[in-house]
A and B are shown apart, each in its own frame.
Chain A
């Protein structure tokens, strides 16, 4: 069974600074996807970024980028130029490919951006 671990329950960052959120996972699969989702106070889950395990290049989406270390089973999210609207819970999620594909979520991290 796959597990996703987010060991930091809370983090805080000053507006305009950079912050990195950590995530590790455990799997015996070789083909899989990793995701970061954002849940702001509205509680709407929003896809932030995705990474295919077979791609060595780290995914980027505007101010969001990942550091994917497949051998270490690590998948951290870097938020650059933090904005007040980045204040949210962030969930790391794993998904194996193939039939009956399901997402396994970490417990999340609460990020607060200070003005």
Chain B
């Protein structure tokens, strides 16, 4: 079955710790995206990657970092510099010739 997986579904961390969220896709999509969702807000773009070994900042990149070493994988690290990291994080991917994005099931991160 083709799709996007994100793990874990729920993640808990202490303040001051870095944490990495996983995103894997087997759709052979070139582009991948990370979004943050807060209550009452739409999705806000954190980082995106159009191709392996290349990525761009989105609208709210501060306090986050990414890598794209493989086409299938686009992990997101939430660093201790992110002031309000508790949120729901969604990963998405897109085929090169299409514009719609397909989403993973999301990771709920809670930092206390």
Which residues on A are within 8 Å of B, measured CB to CB?
4, 33, 35, 42-47, 50, 91, 95, 97, 99-103, 105-108
Contacts and interface: CB of A to CB of B under 8 A. Distances in A.
A3 to B, nearest CB: 11
Nearest to B108: A43
B74 interface: no
Given A45-B90, A100-B56, A102-B48, A33 B42 contact: no
Given A102-B58, A107-B42, A44 B99 contact: no
Nearest to A9: B40
Contacts of A99: 50
B63 interface: no
A95 B99 CA distance: 7
B41 A43 contact: no
B103 A100 contact: no
Given A91-B42, A105-B42, A43 B88 contact: yes
A44 B105 contact: yes
B100 A50 contact: yes
B86 to A, nearest CB: 15
Given A100-B56, A107-B40, A47 B45 contact: no
B102 A97 contact: no
B18 interface: no
13 contacts: A4-B42, A35-B100, A44-B103, A44-B105, A47-B101, A47-B102, A50-B99, A50-B100, A95-B100, A101-B31, A102-B48, A107-B41, A107-B42
A100 B40 CA distance: 27
Nearest to B9: A43
B42 A106 contact: yes
Interface in B9-57: 31, 33, 40-45, 48, 50, 56
A106 B56 CA distance: 22
A47 B94 CA distance: 12
